[in-house]
A and B are shown apart, each in its own frame.
Chain A
């Protein structure tokens, strides 16, 4: 979370927003701790095959069963969170940073660069995420790196639009005009006065961008255009297990459930954050 939010909460002790942040922080800490403990406790490796125990249903030794190579699905799910959630995090952060830069630049530079930047944004906006990613990853060779590049290329436009429109309204506010009269440079005004005020809304958008990207990463990997199968990405696990789903349904239940629960959790947290931020306005 940003400094801005922390400063605001310092002024409003016990506000719903600060309570939300405390609780979210706590939940994230518990989840991260749980992940670490899980990785530490599990006796298996994600790529460790055991041909004597293939397609085993959930049992005490393998809580989530084993896949067609006898690999422990629970362990693969834990490692898979780095792929599915981590890659999506990288992509959405790249989008957040690039989009904010473009948007604020458009808002603060004159009308001509603004119009040009926004038309470029619109042009990129036209490409549906999945189409662009399939075309890019397919033509340049399906791989994790190309997946990240492809999704990043089409992830920044929403941030640019929002940052621009917020930047325009905030740029007209009194404290920005005052700052300019005080002789602050354009860069400092952006950094100290405009960015802190656009950041909360951008963060709300970022949560939804992150969850969308999780769906895109796992979906593209499931289609074979993303992370490639031996890796334990959740969508790639589904692709890997698809031929065996009739005999061993558990192989496809858990990775999908992992995607569903993560996306749902991020969406709900984002919705709550948005509600709280609109209330404080």
Chain B
């Protein structure tokens, strides 16, 4: 807790930095924002009188200097007002919430699937070091790390949707639609986590206490499941959290490959239709989610690892 509190000022600064970078991105993006807003409000009109554009510019403070505009926008963000989407004239937040579920479902399913396989592979590899099993696990995780997810998605569509016809290839809706995208992302999780878990478990298995347990006559099975695995879980938890943050990002490519609805498709769609409030909100969301998940992971590590704890106390 103390550790977490000591991190708060830095965290606040980073969040401020994120908002500034996001605002800079939108401020310098080309295109007349007043016209975009006018288009959104009066979709049937083609040309707009200059007075109307002027009024919109005044309403949204578009003619103020950079810093003032930033403060207006940031003030609204702090109050939880993220603006209306240009495209649909509904609050950005509502659209976001409507799409969040799909992405989180996809990410969590893939995480669960990938972790299950990774635990199995890493345990087998560590319990039989140097055998073909070990080498196969390492090779599989190397290939998984190098695999372009969109390509794997296409291969899965080709194999399981086109040739075998087991699962639908595109779209959202039924659980069957979830299978192929989840497999695609799970492969990446499997690769990343197998590698990490294997090295964490190896490290734990080489600790002196393992030899002591062995001398005491405790069975290999018990040593592995009760001691090595638990020991390896400390660093693993952090890495799982970090991978979950990356999964949200990876979901974008997979969602677009499989034409699934979700935050990725929402981002791509709003970027292409130049829906600035939506884009700004999504970019902020991903950045903040990344920071928050990472900080929680760090705090978790600090809380569960006695070594970090004592270091903290010494400081």
Contacts and interface: CB of A to CB of B under 8 A. Distances in A.
A219 B253 contact: yes
B151 A122 contact: no
B246 interface: yes
Interface stretch (B62-70, B121-129, B283-291): B283-291
Contacts of B149: 219
Nearest to A120: B17
Contact of A127 (B142, B253, B256, B283): B283
B283 A132 contact: yes
A260 B268 contact: no
Contact of B256 (A223, A249, A260): A223
Given A128-B290, A223-B256, A256-B155, A138 B268 contact: yes
Interface string A231-245: 000010010001001
Given A135-B279, A223-B268, A245-B158, A127 B145 contact: no
B147 interface: yes
A260 B148 contact: yes
Interface string A129-162: 1111011101111000000000000000000000
B155 to A, nearest CB: 7
Interface stretch (A88-96, A102-110, A262-270): A262-270
B26 interface: yes
A134 B25 contact: no
A131 B151 contact: no
B150 A128 contact: no
Contacts of A264: 142-143, 146
Given A139-B29, A238-B151, A267-B142, A130 B287 contact: no
B21 A128 contact: no
B14 A126 contact: yes
Task: Describe A's contact surface by its main secondary structure.
Answer: helix
Task: Describe B's contact surface by its main secondary structure.
Answer: helix
A278 interface: no
A139 B274 contact: yes
A218 interface: yes
A134 B268 contact: yes
A126 B25 contact: no
A13 B18 CA distance: 49
Interface string A64-81: 000000000000000000
Name which of A131, A219, A225, A256 has the most chain B CB atoms within 10 A of its CB: A131
Given A238-B154, A252-B151, A267-B146, A126 B287 contact: yes
Contact of A136 (B13, B25, B288, B290): B25
A211 interface: yes
A245 B156 CA distance: 12
B2 to A, nearest CB: 20
A256 B149 CA distance: 10
B155 A138 contact: no
Contact of A128 (B16, B158, B248): B248
Contacts of A119: 10, 13-14, 17
B78 interface: no
Interface in B1-42: 10, 13-14, 16-18, 20-21, 25-26, 29-30
Contact of B18 (A126, A134, A218, A260): A126
A242 B253 CA distance: 15
A128 B246 contact: yes
B236 interface: no
B154 A127 contact: no
23 contacts: A119-B10, A119-B17, A120-B17, A122-B10, A122-B13, A123-B16, A124-B21, A127-B283, A127-B287, A127-B290, A128-B286, A128-B290, A134-B271, A135-B271, A136-B25, A139-B274, A139-B279, A215-B146, A235-B148, A238-B150, A246-B158, A260-B147, A263-B148
Interface of B: 10, 13-14, 16-18, 20-21, 25-26, 29-30, 142-143, 145-151, 154-155, 157-158, 162, 245-246, 248-250, 252-253, 256-257, 267-268, 271-272, 274, 276, 279, 282-283, 286-288, 290-291
Given A123-B13, A130-B252, A223-B268, 19 more contacts: A119-B13, A122-B14, A122-B291, A123-B20, A127-B18, A127-B286, A128-B290, A130-B249, A130-B250, A131-B287, A134-B267, A134-B271, A135-B25, A135-B271, A141-B30, A219-B253, A225-B271, A235-B150, A256-B151
5 tightest Cβ-Cβ pairs between the two chains A and B = A123-B17, A138-B271, A256-B151, A128-B249, A263-B146
